[in-house]
Amino acid sequence: MRRTKANQPLKSKIDVPWDTTGVSSAPQSMPLDQIVLPATQPRRYFDPVALKQLSESIKQHGILQPLLVRPVDGGKHEVVAGERRYRAATELALKEIPVVIKELDDNAAFQLALIENLLREDLNPVEETEGILQLLALKLGRSVEDIAPLLRRLQHERKEASNSSNNVIGKDETDEEQGSSPENPDLKIVEDVFESLGLMTWESFANNRLPLLNLPVDILSALRDGSIEYTKAKAIAQIAQLNERVEFLEQAIAENWSLSEIRQRISEKKAAASTSNTEPNNYKERFTTATTKLRKSRIWSDPKKHKQIEKLLAQLEALTSVE
């Protein structure tokens, strides 16, 4: 069975530089003013409602799980895991909080913060996607920008290998003696990371999550702050005009439209736009309709309309004479 965030402990199969066993990991109290937040934090959005609920829980029961911190310059300690608890403690103006101190370099600390965030239930899909890309970049020793093209290349290689194997009826003795081609080391690392996280397969991530980061900035912002679900955001992203999309997005969030309502309203907008774009240009049909009505009209016997009719006829004659 594939693990999920709900049943996956923080210390997963993924190789992290934090061993919770041993005397050195025993929790201890530390003054809150000696603890600082890191300059670079994988998580950028914290739901204010959830944070308030956490503060209420801490007020009643205290901090049940110690924060993980590491020593930094100036005699301070930097939060590695537990920023929500730190923020709640700051909000409550606590004097001391429980911590576990570990000596970690920048790379190890950031990696551990990534893993802790990725295994949280309330992480939104944008931050989860960006976090996985950052974790893969650390594990593969590449830049974040290199990861998406790498995953696409691995997909292509796997497809090519599959097509090639389907075209081969059997293997001869020479093939068996030589054995199969060596495993791609990058693929092995990628598979290990996704297997350890237990969230999804790397192929599913490449197909369904990478396109998310191509969404417009306004849509990504709404996804990051948890204002709207991913499926709704993808539908609203179809609206090309920025001002129309922002207005539509705000209304969809305010009125909590369902996905079916969003799709229906977008379909209606497209139909209205199509009608407004085609109607003014259908001159022949409009002229035919107008002349048919004119023939049956009583305006020909109305002396008050003669001057207007004569003026319109003169304009039409002038237009046709230009040709």
Q: How does pLDDT run across 231-256, given as a tens digit for each residue? A: 899 999 999 899 999 999 999 999 99
Higher-confidence position of 258 and 309: 258
State residue 256's pLDDT score: 92
Q: What is the pLDDT of residue 254?
A: 93
Burial status of residue 130 (CB atoms within 10 A of its CB: 0-12, 13-18, 19 or more)? buried
Residue 279 pLDDT: 53
Report the percent of the chain where pLDDT is more than 90: 40
**Average pLDDT rounded to a whole number, residues 260-279:** 79
Ramachandran category for residue 201: left, alpha or beta (phi over 0 → left; psi -120 to 50 → alpha): beta
Question: CA-to-CA distance for 159 and 163, rounded, in angstroms?
Answer: 6
The pLDDT, as a whole number, for residue 235 is 93
Q: Are strands 96-101 and 67-71 parallel, antiparallel or unpaired?
A: parallel
The answer to whether residue 263 scores a pLDDT higher than 80 is: yes
Burial of 266 (0-12, 13-18, 19+ CB in 10 A): middle
What is the rounded CA–CA span in Å between residue 310 and residue 320?
15
pLDDT at 105: 87
Mean pLDDT (the chain) is 81
- pLDDT on residue 15: 45
* Residue 70: partners with Cβ closer than 8 Å, 6 or more residues away: 77, 78, 80, 101, 102, 103, 104, 109
What pLDDT digit, counting tens, does each position of 97-140 carry?
A: 999 999 988 888 888 888 877 877 667 788 888 889 989 998 99
Q: What is the pLDDT of residue 167?
A: 63
pLDDT in tens, 279-309: 555 677 777 777 777 777 777 787 877 888 8
288 burial type by CB count under 10 A (0-12 exposed, 13-18 middle, 19+ buried): exposed
Looking at the predicted structure, is the pLDDT value of residue 13 above 50? no
Between 10 and 307, whose confidence is greater? 307
**Residue 275: per-residue pLDDT:** 63
- Range 219-225, long-range pairs (CB < 8 A, 24+ positions): 219/245, 219/249, 220/126, 222/249, 222/253, 223/124, 223/125, 223/126, 224/44, 224/45, 224/124, 224/126, 224/127, 225/45, 225/124
**Which strand ranges, in their side-by-side order, compose the sheet holding 77-81?**
28-31, 96-101, 67-71, 77-81, 35-36
| pLDDT computed for residue 22 by the predictor | 36
For the ranges 153-157, 209-213, 264-268, 290-294, which has the lowest average pLDDT?
Answer: 290-294
Q: Which pLDDT does position 3 carry in this prediction?
A: 40
What does the pLDDT read at residue 298? 78
In the prediction, which pLDDT does 276 show? Answer: 58
The average pLDDT across 185-197 equals: 91
* Tokens found for residue 60: 């009643």
Share of the chain above pLDDT 70, in %: 81
Residue predicted with more confidence, 5 or 143: 143
Dihedral in degrees, nearest 10, Cα atoms 99, 102, 105, 108? -80
Mean pLDDT check: name the lowest of 98-107, 158-167, 262-271: 158-167
Q: What's the CA angle centered on 181, arms 175 and 187, to 5 degrees? A: 155
